[in-house]
Structure 1
């Protein structure tokens, strides 16, 4: 059966061989000019009505679509790595994507046994956009004095499948650095602490599991996380240089609240902006693709369970002495918290 299936795969280096396909999914690295060039070529050779999809995780699909003469046929199909294991598929609608293209994308997701979730175009779509403030706080906590194992340990105790710093080591510390270089408009110019930890490691050539050193140290052929003394010392020094190092120990509660509350707040912004249609969609993204503990239902469900007033109070507490904008509650979160309402109740109101 494996040989039969593998035999159905045909390799080519000619765009003309795409002339009769129904769906093409581009999956080159995150380079806008390269992607636009590919879409221009696919547009030239593919038949009318064919779907042109991109697997981009961060780039503006509206801009990619404008490189073609058929933007209505362009859609985002963001698979999660490893794609043969991860069930989540973000289906990203551009300003021009036709309804029949979206319907076909969901049908394809079902055929591939994926869980399709609709998103509008936004930097990072749903999953990666919410991951950004979550990981930002994790990296900042290391500069303030928490060790990587303490940060990851608190998040894993909360229920995350893997702590975010260990995730960076597994994926490659360089991946995030390169994404930020490709999206300079997403990097605040007035915040030297922003993802500074990964940059420090990258500058040392410590890329994670791929070369044995990152936030942790790894023995050859092993993925066991070992204490990386050099990295801990260097990151502590960087925190002191930036003036954010703390003398007192950082509690597990603070680690979890700063990371998870920042994630929830970004989710509220996505609902407010219409990037995500329902809080349940966000929860599906996070429990299916980001290792959020299913027993907690997803970040938005979890927020409802502990009370949005708790989340709001936490954001206001952690904003003190830090950049206020990083913890500025979304308008929707504040309104619901002050009314004693929930994201679930808000979603029901939207149906009417």
Structure 2
């Protein structure tokens, strides 16, 4: 195993593996920061298309007056296609950005470990997978970390930097510095499924889907949360990112497809309604438009699915929608703090403000909870637990803070 130097030299040359949507955005984020980029994909045609996308994006930015032609030319010149893994030998950092498959990522990291220089840092752009399982296939786990960009990566501000069990502090510091160079809001997260943002999102989305089965409709859930101030509700969000992504992941994993809460998604995907890209998802979209239009056919499908599952539908008001959605976020956020996955509540809020469209004037889910009072949050969670079951049990940290009259803002590294 290599011995990590006390400091990590600046990243002068960075390699990106994967030329899909994420890879393209990451490449542009790096080039925009003046970093030389080597770009590799096992399909040369993907690199060709990726380079065209980069060219078109910069040309559009010039037309919009965002950058000059000279700046565009400078950035384009920083991006070079790489023919194979040996071409990456001198890269200071390699960012893998292929699709979410642990075996594939491990295979890439094994190859990188034997190809790139010993002091190079290896990063995965995974949004949920175990960084330690990826690091374990290398002889340099102290130089492996997660760099979770948000899509589109050249526009979205958030960067989750995921700390593995053996990731050296110097590596984290170098990643934070790179984040600053790229103009990102960089937040360090511990390693758990979904890290900070997607782990909390899973509980939020579970509630939204549960409310569909109980009696709400997608446009009602989204309307209530957008009324609270979210940039978009969960079903609009799924239409934008593609309903089929999770559906295909469940299919590949061979588990999770029979959970009641995903049955509406499954039916939509079986009908080819994947979201904006197919002009039909939870909503309809006119040709060339991103404007979501309410679709009564989806309401009928939601009703049919919930009745087939044996639910007695009822009216669900905006207040209940907002209450359950927010408290799901807060309760999971408290568990993340308690486990030391996030250093403090401000980091949790930064993730939600910059990556998930939480209303800026509310300060983030944990800041919002502090304005409500932690003991009031605990009482509201207990009421939900009594009504809907054990998954609403308040996090131990909430019980402790409520008993001590403290706020989430007073928690540092899992300790109040």
Smaller-chain TM-score bracket: over 0.9
Query: Structure 1 stretch 236-245 or stretch 41-50: which is displaced more?
Result: 236-245
Partner of 1:298: 364
Alignment RMSD: 1.8
Partner of 2:7: none
2:161 equivalent to 1:94: no
Per the alignment, do residues 141 and 87 of structure 1 end up closer, same or farther by CA in structure 2, a change over 3 Å counting? same
Partner of 1:23: 93
Per the alignment, do residues 343 and 180 of structure 1 end up closer, same or farther by CA in structure 2, a change over 3 Å counting? farther
Per the alignment, do residues 196 and 205 of structure 1 end up closer, same or farther by CA in structure 2, a change over 3 Å counting? same
Please state how far the C-alpha of 1:29 moved relative to its aligned partner: 0.4
Within a 5 Å distance, the mapping from 1:260-271 to structure 2 comes to 260-271=326-337
Query: Deviations along 1:234-277, whole A, 9 cap, x unmatched?
Result: 11111112223323x21101000111100110000001111111
Aligned length: 346
> Normalising by the residue count of structure 1, what TM-score does the alignment of the two structures yield?
0.93
Contact kept, 8 Å, 1:200 with 1:235, in 2: the verdict is no
Query: Deviations along 1:154-182, whole A, 9 cap, x unmatched?
Result: 00011111111000011110112234445
Secondary structure in 2 aligned to 1:24? Answer: strand
Secondary structure in 1 aligned to 2:299? Answer: helix
Segments of 5+ residues of structure 1 without an aligned counterpart are none
> Which structure: larger Rg?
2
Partner of 2:244: 174
Per the alignment, do residues 347 and 71 of structure 1 end up closer, same or farther by CA in structure 2, a change over 3 Å counting? closer
Within a 5 Å distance, the mapping from 1:123-142 to structure 2 comes to 123-142=193-212
Q: 325, 334, 337: which one pairs with 2:402? A: 337
Partner of 1:217: 284
Segments of 5+ residues of structure 2 without an aligned counterpart are 1-70
What CA distance in whole angstroms lies between the structure 1 residues aligned with 2:383 and 2:250?
A: 28
Contact kept, 8 Å, 1:30 with 1:182, in 2: the verdict is no
2:290 equivalent to 1:200: no
What CA distance in whole angstroms lies between the structure 2 residues aligned with 1:182 and 1:70?
A: 29
Secondary structure in 2 aligned to 1:227? Answer: coil
Partner of 1:310: 376
Per the alignment, do residues 310 and 13 of structure 1 end up closer, same or farther by CA in structure 2, a change over 3 Å counting? farther
Partner of 1:52: 122
Please state how far the C-alpha of 1:150 moved relative to its aligned partner: 0.7
> Normalising by the residue count of structure 2, what TM-score does the alignment of the two structures yield?
0.80
Query: Deviations along 1:184-225, whole A, 9 cap, x unmatched?
Result: 67x497xx3233322221122211111121111111111121
